Amino acid sequence: MALTNTQQAFELIKKSKGILIAFKSDWSGDAIASALALGQILTKFDKQVDIVCSGLSKKPGNLDFLPIEQIKSKLENLQKLVISIKTSKAQVGEFYYDHGKDSLNIYISPQGGKFDIKDITTTQSDYKYDLIITVDTPDIESLGKMFDDNNDFFHTTPKINIDHSQHNEYFGNVNIVDLTAASTTEIIYDVIKEFDQKLLDEDINTYILGGIIIATKNFKLPNITPKTLSTASKLIKAGARREEIIQHLYQNRFISTLKLWGRVLSRLNNDMDDKLVWSSISAQDFLETSTSPSEIIDVIDELIVSMPKTEIIVLLYEIQSNSHSSIKCIVYSVKNINSLSISKKFDPRGNREIAKFSLSDISLIEAERMVVGEIKEKLS
């Protein structure tokens, strides 16, 4: 009898020693919660586990209920250089090293003989991880810099791909992709429950519930199902700290953030029967509201909840650096539209759901006209 995808995944996990949990550089709260919940589970199997996201360099303040400090921003010590010396002719006596201008110098004194150059070999060690688990990541390129810098590792190492996105490219050796799930954390819950529900504890239940609440905008989006609500109810009964989640996500809004939202809403434009909405934020807006671009994702979340007919959201914002300014743009796909495809002209980075790019030597008004015009044309 053939193994289910979940059973195949746990067979890979059992055989592995070092596991990398990774997710898209344009991270989501659902991705963070999924990775942390899965990481906690795997440590119960005494596995060496690291969680890495190349786009998560600063801890989001509204996710303080999650131990985000456990997530690294880059891969470290993926492989080691091994220097081997044959000791059949001589044993190692003194050993020391120093740093030259552009080199590391290693000094080895033989004991009872001498070493020859032919006695020395160098090799690369095996990779630190023998299994990769990606969560809430539609394609392998979405991992960003860590994939770009370690292409061979990601192509040759076995992968488990866990996601709920309709854009997922099924790039894993094992793919646990459920398009009916409202969040990746919901799938993580099902996977753990199928294997051993006793592995779930109060903290893991809280992470999973937090991911579901984030992905559904506190159960306001049409992607929720009776199963989603049933899962949330079970998590709360099992000790998930719902009040803590809600307090951090929705009750700790700073006045400065609300002011930024006001600027965005006051300049909100729409077209194509509300399928396309866009707004812009100047460098002066950030200065006067004491905010930063990191708070823009919250604005997008509010627009998604408030405008159910919207398919594409475009936000342009100005970054001032010394005397130079540039325009950053985010194209967010709410429905089944490829953000990278409709903004291809601007050489974007990201994935089908969210694309980002920069424009130089252009004003905010000109950038808005150019970007919105191009996207309108593509949508038409």
Q: What is the pLDDT of residues 50-65, one digit of tens each?
A: 999 998 877 777 888 9
Average pLDDT of span 207-231: 92
- pLDDT score recorded for residue 252: 67
- pLDDT score recorded for residue 254: 73
Write out pLDDT tens, residues 277-318.
999 999 999 888 888 887 777 777 777 777 778 889 999 999
Cβ proximity of 180 and 222 under 8 Å: no
Matching fold, domains 5-75+128-249 and 256-379: no
DSSP β-ladder status, 349-350 and 324-333: unpaired
pLDDT band at residue 94 using 50, 70 and 90 as cut-offs: confident
Residue 1 has pLDDT above 70, yes or no: no
pLDDT band at residue 376 using 50, 70 and 90 as cut-offs: very high
Q: Which residues pair with 50 in a beta bridge?
A: 20
d(CA 209, CA 186): 8
Domain ranges within the chain, ordered by starting residue:
5-75+128-249, 81-124, 256-379
For the chain, the C-alpha Rg in angstroms (whole number) is 25
Residue 20 has pLDDT above 90, yes or no: yes
Superfamily of domain 5-75+128-249: inorganic pyrophosphatase (n-terminal core) (3.90.1640.10)
Comparing CA positions, the residue from 188, 239, 240, 185 lying closest to residue 216 is 185
- pLDDT score recorded for residue 303: 76
pLDDT band at residue 324 using 50, 70 and 90 as cut-offs: confident
Q: Where are the alpha helices (DSSP H) in the chain?
A: 5-15, 29-43, 145-149, 151-156, 184-196, 202-215, 226-237, 242-246, 255-266, 283-289, 296-306, 339-342, 364-379
Write out pLDDT tens, residues 103-123.
888 888 888 778 788 878 887
Write out pLDDT tens, residues 362-373.
999 999 999 999
For the ranges 67-76, 90-99, 295-304, 349-358, the maximum mean pLDDT occurs at 67-76
Residue 156 has pLDDT above 80, yes or no: yes
Strands of 131-135's sheet in order across = 71-72, 48-52, 18-22, 131-135, 159-163, 174-177
- Fold classification of 256-379 is Diaminopimelate Epimerase; Chain A, domain 1 (3.10.310)
CA dihedral (34, 37, 39, 44) in degrees, to 10, reads: -150
